[in-house]
């Protein structure tokens, strides 16, 4: 057997999924021999930013880090490549919605997500974070992974009910991502931890606070720290604004679950959950200690009710942008 060989990857971009400030995400078909096809997502740096060294470093660091994070609650990365001057990442395609879409649907309907179902979604994120935070290198040394950008847009829900964390683009980890804490504040202001907003060193507990803000918004329908202010004021809110009890906005939240949320939102690191596994355990105990609780099948059924179009085979998808059309011919990396 040959110890080393080269292969050629063929991708056909089929539609633009999302546009970001410096990069775009496309749905694509990975083609192989004998008619093999696999649907994937392609994350690509925009050409105008391909020479921005700091951004390219983050992009490459994300690919190298997540390539070795293999977990059911984390979007898998397959390949880092380059086409002409632009880098791209080929990753798992998640057919479904992100948490922001789900929250928007409940808002549109004028109702709240069932508390136990919301707890289930957050508990799955906990298990993905628990795995990432505990990841070590080949020698068993902790990588010290911190996602630093846990927010509703980066949490995906597949049509089968699986919850997956994506976008480790501003994560920190030893030997993978350049650490500029104290110099550059990473993440989205409404979902930062207090230590993150202050530019202090973060650890796994920072992601727990961020997830707490997501859980608060998911179950109450209210953004915790952002109310139309500028980013500076939002970060001040994160650091010092009194946190209203969740039941003020949604009395249907059980007191036990409210206590779990408020612990995740402790500004004192010593009072916050010590790790994502402990938060996950508390949520699972809340859901299951009295008997049967929600599962991925429960979440799938809810998605079928809220987003029936996702389950129609061959249903028309979002209109393909002109940019996608121009790039949709097969290209080789």
Domain ranges of the chain: 10-94+314-332, 96-306
Q: What is the pLDDT along the chain (333 residues), one digit of tens a residue?
A: 667 877 777 899 999 998 876 788 999 999 888 889 999 999 988 877 778 888 888 888 888 889 999 999 999 999 999 887 788 999 999 999 999 999 999 999 999 999 999 999 999 999 999 999 999 988 898 999 999 999 999 999 999 999 999 998 888 887 665 556 655 677 899 999 999 999 998 999 999 999 999 999 999 999 999 998 899 999 999 999 999 999 999 999 999 999 999 999 999 999 999 999 999 999 999 999 999 999 999 999 999 999 999 998 655 454 444 444 444 444 444
Superfamily of domain 10-94+314-332: Phosphorylase Kinase; domain 1 (3.30.200.20)
Question: What is the predicted pLDDT for the residue at 180?
Answer: 62
The set of catalytic residues is: 149
CA angle 173, 176, 177 (to 5 degrees): 70
Burial 101-118, CB ≥16 within 10 A → b, else e? bbbebbeeeeebbebbbb
Same fold, 10-94+314-332 and 96-306: no
The Cα-based distances of 125 to 44, 131, 213, 286, 292 in angstroms read 25, 10, 13, 16, 20
Question: What is the predicted pLDDT for the residue at 55?
Answer: 81
Nearest Cα to 331, choosing from 67, 88, 47, 34?
88
The Cα-based distances of 305 to 26, 123, 148, 287, 310 in angstroms read 26, 22, 32, 22, 10
3-state secondary structure of 214: helix
Superfamily of domain 96-306: Transferase(Phosphotransferase) domain 1 (1.10.510.10)
3-state secondary structure of 10: strand
Which pTM does this prediction carry?
0.90
3-state secondary structure of 44: strand
Give the count of alpha carbons within 13 A of 224, CB side only. 34
Distance, in Å, from the CA atom of 240 to the CA atom of 236, rounded to the nearest integer, reads: 6
Question: What is the predicted pLDDT for the residue at 175?
Answer: 64
Question: What is the predicted pLDDT for the residue at 251?
Answer: 97
Residues in Cβ contact with 158 at an 8 Å cutoff, skipping those fewer than 6 apart: 94, 95, 96, 164
Question: What is the predicted pLDDT for the residue at 183?
Answer: 59
Question: What is the predicted pLDDT for the residue at 57?
Answer: 84
């Amino acid at each position: 057997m040959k110890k080393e060989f080269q292969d050629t990857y063929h991708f056909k971009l089929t539609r633009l999924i999302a546009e970001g400030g410096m990069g775009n995400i496309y749905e694509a078909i990975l083609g192989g021999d004998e008619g093999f096809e696999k649907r994937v997502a392609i994350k690509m740096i925009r050409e105008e930013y391909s020479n921005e060294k700091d951004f390219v470093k983050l992009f490459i660091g994300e690919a190298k880090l997540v390539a070795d994070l293999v977990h059911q609650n984390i979007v898998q990365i397959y390949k880092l490549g380059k086409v002409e001057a632009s880098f791209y990442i080929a990753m798992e395609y998640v057919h479904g919605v992100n948490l922001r879409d789900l929250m928007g649907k409940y808002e549109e309907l004028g109702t709240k997500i069932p508390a136990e179902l919301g707890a289930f979604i957050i508990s799955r994120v906990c298990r993905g974070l628990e795995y990432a935070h505990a990841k070590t290198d080949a020698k068993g040394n902790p990588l010290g992974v911190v996602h630093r950008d846990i927010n509703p847009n980066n949490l995906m829900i597949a049509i089968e009910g699986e919850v997956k964390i994506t976008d480790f683009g501003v994560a920190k980890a030893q030997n993978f991502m350049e650490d500029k804490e104290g110099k550059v504040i990473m993440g989205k202001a409404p979902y930062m931890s207090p230590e993150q907003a202050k530019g202090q060193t973060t650890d796994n507990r920072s992601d727990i606070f961020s997830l707490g803000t997501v859980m608060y918004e998911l179950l109450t329908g209210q953004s915790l720290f952002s109310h139309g202010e500028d980013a500076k004021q939002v970060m001040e809110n994160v650091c010092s604004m009194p946190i209203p009890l969740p039941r003020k906005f949604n009395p249907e939240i059980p007191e036990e679950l409210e206590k779990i949320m408020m612990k995740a939102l402790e500004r004192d690191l010593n009072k916050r959950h010590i790790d994502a596994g402990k938060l996950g355990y508390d949520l699972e105990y809340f859901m299951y200690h009295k008997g049967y609780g929600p599962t991925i099948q429960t979440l799938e059924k809810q998605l079928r009710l809220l987003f029936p179009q996702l389950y129609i085979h061959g249903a028309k998808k979002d209109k393909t942008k002109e940019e996608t059309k121009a790039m949709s011919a097969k290209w080789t990396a």
